[in-house]
Amino acid sequence: MLKLNSLPDLLKGLGISGSVRALDLGSEDGASIEHLASFSDGVIDVVPREGAAEAIRTQLGGRVRLLEGDFEADERAYDVVVVSPVLGQLAQNLRDMEWRAPRLLKPGGVWITFGIDPKALTKPDFSRPDPEVAEQFCSDFDVVRGRITAIPACLRGCFELVAHAPRKPIYRSYLSWMAFRMLPEAAEPPPREIRVFTDHRAHSLMPGLPNADTIQAGAAKINDLRPSVLMVVDNDVLRDARVVKTAETVADLGQRVVLVGIGEAGDVVGEETRGGVPVVLFPSPRVEIERRLRMVGGPLDQGVRRELRMAAFSRWLAGVLERLSSPPSVIHSHDFQSIYVVGGARELLDRPPAWVHDVHEFIAEYEIIDPDAQAVGSKWERYFIAAPDAVTCVSEEQAASLKAEYGRPVDAVIYNTQKLANRRKYKGRTLRQRLGLAEDRTLLVHSGSVREGRGIEHVIRVLPQFPRMHLALITASRGPFVNALLNDAKTLGVRDRVHMSALLPYDEVAGFIADADAGIIPMDSYGNAELSLPNKIFDYILAGLPVVSSSTGAIRRLFAEWPIGPLYEPGDTAGLARALVELEADGSRYVRALAARPDLLVKHAWEAQAVKLQRIYDGLPLAAQGRVR
User: Which pLDDT tens digit goes with each residue over 559-603?
Assistant: 888 999 999 999 999 999 999 999 999 889 999 999 999 998 898
* Residues in contact with 34: Cβ distance below 8 Å, sequence separation at least 6, in sequence order: 59, 60
User: Which pLDDT tens digit goes with each residue over 549-563?
Assistant: 998 878 888 888 899
Residue pair 22/36 in contact by the 8 Å Cβ criterion: yes
Instruction: Name which of 166-175, 280-289, 604-613 the model is least confident about.
Output: 166-175
pLDDT at 145 over 70: no
Same fold, 3-189 and 424-604: yes
Burial-class residue 67 by CB neighbours within 10 Å (0-12, 13-18, 19+): middle
CATH class of 212-413: alpha beta
Instruction: Name which of 114-118, 230-234, 376-380, 550-554 the model is least confident about.
Output: 114-118
**How does DSSP classify residue 173?**
B
**Taking Cα atoms as reference points, which of 473, 538, 476 lies closest to residue 507?**
538
User: Which pLDDT tens digit goes with each residue over 180-218?
Assistant: 777 765 544 444 445 555 554 555 556 567 877 899 999
CATH of domain 424-604: 3.40.50.2000
Q: Provide φ and ψ at 268, rounded to 5°.
A: -65, 130
pLDDT at 222 over 50: yes
Instruction: Name which of 236-250, 296-310, 312-326, 406-420 the model is least confident about.
Output: 296-310
- Domain residue limits, the chain: 3-189, 212-413, 424-604
What is the pLDDT, as a whole number, of residue 1? 39
SS3 445: strand
What is the pLDDT, as a whole number, of residue 282? 96
Residue pair 71/104 in contact by the 8 Å Cβ criterion: no
* Residues in contact with 193: Cβ distance below 8 Å, sequence separation at least 6, in sequence order: 347
Report residue 101's pLDDT band, with 50, 70 and 90 as the boundaries: confident
Mean pLDDT of the residues in the chain: 82
What is the pLDDT, as a whole number, of residue 140? 59
pTM: 0.76
Residue pair 455/550 in contact by the 8 Å Cβ criterion: yes
What is the pLDDT, as a whole number, of residue 528? 65
Beta bridge partners of 280: 260, 270
User: Which pLDDT tens digit goes with each residue over 510-526?
Assistant: 999 999 999 999 988 87
Residues 594-629 as b/e (b if ≥16 CB within 10 A, e otherwise) read: beeeeebbeebbbeebbeebbebbeebebbeebebe
User: Which pLDDT tens digit goes with each residue over 364-387?
Assistant: 888 778 888 888 888 899 999 999
Secondary structure tally for the chain: helices H, strands E: 22, 24
Give me the DSSP letters along 206-231. Answer: -TTSS-HHHHHHHHHHHHHH--SEEE
Task: Centre a 10 Å sphere on the Cβ of residue 74 and count the other Cβ atoms it contains.
Answer: 10
Report residue 164's pLDDT band, with 50, 70 and 90 as the boundaries: very low
- Express as a percent the part of the chain with pLDDT over 70: 79
Which amino acid is located at 412 in the chain? A
Integer Cα distance of 626 and 486 in angstroms: 52
pLDDT at 436 over 90: yes
Q: What is the dihedral of CA 477, 523, 556, 498, to 10 degrees?
A: 70
Residue pair 105/182 in contact by the 8 Å Cβ criterion: yes
Report residue 441's pLDDT band, with 50, 70 and 90 as the boundaries: very high
Which amino acid is located at 68 in the chain? E
Residue pair 517/443 in contact by the 8 Å Cβ criterion: yes
For range 261-274, the mean pLDDT = 93
The number of residues making up the chain comes to 629
**Taking Cα atoms as reference points, which of 124, 151, 125, 156 lies closest to residue 137?**
151
Task: Centre a 10 Å sphere on the Cβ of residue 408 and count the other Cβ atoms it contains.
Answer: 19
Report residue 128's pLDDT band, with 50, 70 and 90 as the boundaries: very low
Residue pair 471/458 in contact by the 8 Å Cβ criterion: no
For range 19-48, the mean pLDDT = 83
Handedness of CA 500, 505, 509, 511 (dihedral sign): negative
Residues 134-157 as b/e (b if ≥16 CB within 10 A, e otherwise) read: bbbbbbbbebeeeebeebbebbee
**Taking Cα atoms as reference points, which of 152, 213, 154, 216 lies closest to residue 186?**
154
Taking domain 3-189, whether its CATH number is 3.40.50.150 is answered by yes
User: Which pLDDT tens digit goes with each residue over 25-34?
Assistant: 877 667 778 8
Report residue 12's pLDDT band, with 50, 70 and 90 as the boundaries: confident
Run of H or E including 364: none
Report the interhelical angle of 90-104 vs 131-141 (nearest 10°). Answer: 40
Run of H or E including 332: strand 330-334
Handedness of CA 280, 286, 291, 295 (dihedral sign): positive
* Residues in contact with 618: Cβ distance below 8 Å, sequence separation at least 6, in sequence order: 627, 628
Q: What is the dihedral of CA 524, 529, 533, 534, to 10 degrees?
A: -60
Residue pair 79/16 in contact by the 8 Å Cβ criterion: yes
Q: HSE of 256 in the Cβ direction (CA atoms, 13 Å)? A: 13
CA 317 to chain centre: 12
- Would you put residue 297 in left (φ > 0), alpha (ψ -120 to 50) or beta? left
CA angle, 18 then 20 then 22, to 5°? 110
**Taking Cα atoms as reference points, which of 257, 557, 532 lies closest to residue 413?**
532
What is the pLDDT, as a whole number, of residue 166? 43
